[in-house]
Structure 1
């Protein structure tokens, strides 16, 4: 029998005495080490590993697996992610364990007979799934940088899957929201909307068994043998493309980070197949010479200037960014100081820019936040920034029969048809067209910041296309507008991504006449409930660690000692 989603066994509904064994802590200062993550049970796992003498990578491995159990809408073993790692001494490095297109994928696989993008094919169901990279990435980071034994780090997730945990209200809300999709993509369900309530205790024995195979055999416990066979069988059952050969061939990639100076700070972030590092570096360079602090937080002048930097970076993203193994991404040219100064040459403070007038500057050659992020600093000063995802909430909504985990819908992050927006409204071109084995472009922006050569900040977020601009604004809130970290993380945000040509803003953002002033110049606005969910750690002047979890997500949590 096929069991659907996250609740493979519903032990009891707890409707008489609902209980939740955890409570999210949003901000705290710690003397030695800190973890910020999407769920209190996952951050607790990370803290336990740090207390056992594990380093930041050990904690990240354990938290990653724990998230796959307690935060399955985004924490995962069926998706992919990015790591930015800065050791206490030595050079920063990144790991790309983004999903890849299966060998049978093709450029026009989501187009109908008329050449138009077929609704839902790249977002829902088996055909939307890319080859998962998460387990290979976790195994690779542990092999290179970990210190504690692998089996010790996987065990907490097994305990949570087999022993069970209690659902929070926010997780119950997500289950109910996608219940119809779960039912459409899977054969049976052991629960209904009325049986799943906050406090329900759940167990996931099939996921537990999958984690035991990973614990025993490492990456081969996922990419070969029983788990691989179960994934391939699931694909065949629903018309998906992934084969056991695709799984066996998957490899994560270690890469040099994107680095960019901003005044006394060095921003360290992800290279392609992430667009985040390049776009973040472009925006900070375009803004560096302007007196943002003098203009004031979300003043008309500061907001307009930031919007115009965003617009230009996202125009370049659409034209030039993709998997650099398949397309000659001109990173050096995109980050050239003279090029970026020239990008702002047509900026005018007395009139609105327009996206029709802003094209990619080099010579030719739906909001959803269900990614998640971990920021960790250990007692030695090693820093980890990891963003991982299934793409949409619960990915493709397909759970692997017999293995107990959701598969991603990352194929939507390709350009199904160049120039046609994806589920986040992002437009891509030939650089991000579908090719077998290619990594799809991402907005994930795990980032580490140094100040005069010393660790200063670790941050990142879920939030689809709004990730990059949320990371930018959080950084600027601290270094330009003088906010402490919890204030910087919680401050209301705005966003512009070139197309559509409008400024998105949270309801509390852009007050004091800013919207009226910019509307008078010709800008268009659209209010949204929220955008991106930052998880950050700041090194205070006395060396202590200020950790901040975003109030936009009820379960975001900090832990440390």
Structure 2
């Protein structure tokens, strides 16, 4: 029955192919000649201008199709205009993509403290020359961490995994940026020169924008619990307002120590002393030995082909690259374009592929230094074919039917609690870098005297296996807590090269588990449907993560007839304000187009030189 259902879906594909492209209406015919018209030698009427094709986006969708991007021979696009400007200036001064990425990341730690950070971690995929590199600077569990440290008497996870000093993992960002600079930087710019713009922004200050003010207000409930955070973000006890000048001499001093001493300026000396003192103040467990012992790790990227393109993304402990490949492999045998973009069949089959990927992700994956992950099996043709055979053409498969488990109540938001940026230089080198504090302003804790916010990354472990974390993910023992272990992630920094070997797309996203599904949709929008990168980013998005068993859709992006058709298939739709942030870069001929993320106020793209 399942195979017959899949054959019915293939038939739907072939039929849909006749309707997928809606041609523009023909030009209006010329007016009939007047009875008093001149002889045939008179000039003929000018032909009518071709009609503009109807938008593929639904009426009222706020982000336009075909919006003009920023174009140039090199490009930076990020969640914050000031950070984008810093990166573009490094490119203009002769730095390479990695140099620009380092400077952009430090600037984001100042102007976008929602997620930009010194006190968090992340992942980077870079292409320098013709070689891809993957850098893991994910946070680690402290040496004193234990398997059940967040299990309450009722068997549920306590708040300590999300708010306060106990929620903090050992940060990796500074170590990661140093590794990137040391191995792949051009050395035309010194380390200190790349940190200098962030120091200036912290010292001199800048005007608070909408995103900064809005996120402080949203996180004020936890920020107000910690005096150093109140002083930094809630002056006078109220959230900082748009247009106010924000500066932090303490953060500037921390950055100066990092500029002078490299990673030792963070993991040792005064900054480390302030960090450990903050831990003691709030009964945290990170020690000086934890800080000094932290190491970023180079790993082999996940590389796969999709429609003739080479896709390089992040390996474990980020599930991003593996999950992208697993979705792609399920759809590789299907002509997705013939389904028609955002037809019921298209949304259905992609959502079902997502569902199956998250089931595998959440059950069996974890830090590869601690867990034997079945990567080869999950990347195999056999796995993809097995999953594809279970997808019915006209019916959503309940997650319980696949997992044979109990339904889980939705635990909360899937907001864009991370930040991603993309960089390409004039030589075609590229960087996709995603970094995070986990939740907005992480644990809510600011290191007193040092001016930077600490992550709450410990909640990305399966703090109590089988129960949902703050993103609603229900994970298994493979991602349980152990000292020194790195928590599983969905971050998906990705670089796509074309058949000619040139960089075609640089992308990634913020948004918890929605990261990897948003990245796949942009990839598919461009590769399967021929969207330009800006249209691919602006297009409405959807998301499925197995539990809770819902199809999350962006409000206003799914017309009533599409919603009804999906509902008839058994999908339970859940509207979200927006799904993920994904500033991206695409190739346009010999140049690059920068697509800012319109869902994120302040996101900007800028050309280097």
> What TM-score comes out, normalization by structure 1 length?
0.92
In structure 1, the residue corresponding to 2:230 is in which secondary structure? coil
How far apart, CA to CA, are the structure 2 residues paired with 1:246 and 1:189?
27
Aligned to 1:437: 484
How far apart, CA to CA, are the structure 1 residues paired with 2:369 and 2:532?
40
Mind listing any 5+ residue stretches in structure 2 that lack a counterpart?
1-66, 405-412
Give 1:543 deviation, angstroms: 1.5
Q: Is the 8 A contact 2:441 2:454 kept in 1?
A: yes
Residues 238-265 of structure 1: CA deviation (Å, up to 9, x unaligned)? 0111000000000000011001111211
Give 1:187 deviation, angstroms: 5.9
From 143, 149, 167, the counterpart of 1:103 = 143
How far apart, CA to CA, are the structure 1 residues paired with 2:246 and 2:347?
46
Q: Is the 8 A contact 1:299 1:510 kept in 2?
A: no
Q: Is the 8 A contact 2:220 2:239 kept in 1?
A: no
Within the alignment, does 1:520 sit opposite 2:568 as a pair? yes
Q: Is the 8 A contact 2:229 2:444 kept in 1?
A: no
Aligned to 1:282: 326
How far apart, CA to CA, are the structure 1 residues paired with 2:306 and 2:91?
32
Aligned to 1:532: 580
Within the alignment, does 1:86 sit opposite 2:127 as a pair? yes
Within the alignment, does 1:501 sit opposite 2:544 as a pair? no
Give 1:524 deviation, angstroms: 0.9
Aligned residues: 528
Give 1:194 deviation, angstroms: 5.4
How far apart, CA to CA, are the structure 2 residues paired with 1:188 and 1:137?
25
Q: Is the 8 A contact 1:29 1:544 kept in 2?
A: no
Within the alignment, does 1:291 sit opposite 2:340 as a pair? no
Give 1:80 deviation, angstroms: 0.2
From 470, 475, 481, the counterpart of 2:518 = 470
Within the alignment, does 1:378 sit opposite 2:419 as a pair? no
Within the alignment, does 1:112 sit opposite 2:152 as a pair? yes
Within the alignment, does 1:422 sit opposite 2:463 as a pair? no
Q: How does 1:354-433 map to 2 (within 5 A)?
A: 354-359=398-403, 366-433=413-480
Within the alignment, does 1:161 sit opposite 2:192 as a pair? no
How far apart, CA to CA, are the structure 1 residues paired with 2:228 and 2:248?
17
Deviates more, 1:91-100 or 1:519-528: 519-528
Residues 483-519 of structure 1: CA deviation (Å, up to 9, x unaligned)? 1111110111111001111100011233261211121
Q: How does 1:117-516 map to 2 (within 5 A)?
A: 117-118=157-158, 120-146=159-185, 147=187, 148-186=189-227, 189-190=230-231, 191-192=235-236, 196-359=240-403, 366-452=413-499, 453-511=501-559, 513-516=561-564
How far apart, CA to CA, are the structure 2 residues paired with 1:220 and 1:457?
35
Within the alignment, does 1:44 sit opposite 2:85 as a pair? yes
In structure 1, the residue corresponding to 2:317 is in which secondary structure? coil
Residues 326-384 of structure 1: CA deviation (Å, up to 9, x unaligned)? 00011111101122111111211022211112239xxxxx2121200110000110000
Q: Is the 8 A contact 1:494 1:509 kept in 2?
A: no
Aligned to 2:39: none
Q: Is the 8 A contact 1:27 1:558 kept in 2?
A: no
Give 1:207 deviation, angstroms: 0.2
Q: Is the 8 A contact 2:70 2:606 kept in 1?
A: no
Aligned to 1:21: none
Residues 181-209 of structure 1: CA deviation (Å, up to 9, x unaligned)? 21212368341365832111122100000
In structure 2, the residue corresponding to 1:92 is in which secondary structure? strand
How far apart, CA to CA, are the structure 1 residues paired with 2:486 and 2:248?
30
In structure 2, the residue corresponding to 1:301 is in which secondary structure? helix
Mind listing any 5+ residue stretches in structure 1 that lack a counterpart?
1-25, 361-365
Q: Cα RMSD between the aligned structures?
A: 1.4
How far apart, CA to CA, are the structure 2 residues paired with 1:129 and 1:454?
40
Q: Is the 8 A contact 1:397 1:406 kept in 2?
A: yes
In structure 1, the residue corresponding to 2:161 is in which secondary structure? coil
From 58, 70, 73, the counterpart of 2:99 = 58
Q: Is the 8 A contact 1:41 1:70 kept in 2?
A: yes
Residues 121-166 of structure 1: CA deviation (Å, up to 9, x unaligned)? 1110000000000000001111111122111101110000001111
How far apart, CA to CA, are the structure 1 residues paired with 2:518 and 2:229?
39
Q: Is the 8 A contact 1:179 1:193 kept in 2?
A: no
> What TM-score comes out, normalization by structure 2 length?
0.85
Deviates more, 1:166-175 or 1:508-517: 508-517
Q: Is the 8 A contact 2:414 2:511 kept in 1?
A: yes
How far apart, CA to CA, are the structure 1 residues paired with 2:484 and 2:559?
46
Give 1:525 deviation, angstroms: 1.0
Aligned to 1:553: 600
Aligned to 1:18: none
How far apart, CA to CA, are the structure 2 residues paired with 1:478 and 1:192?
48
Q: Is the 8 A contact 1:449 1:456 kept in 2?
A: yes
In structure 1, the residue corresponding to 2:312 is in which secondary structure? strand
Deviates more, 1:344-353 or 1:27-36: 27-36
How far apart, CA to CA, are the structure 1 residues paired with 2:282 and 2:462?
23
Larger of the two Rg values belongs to structure: 2
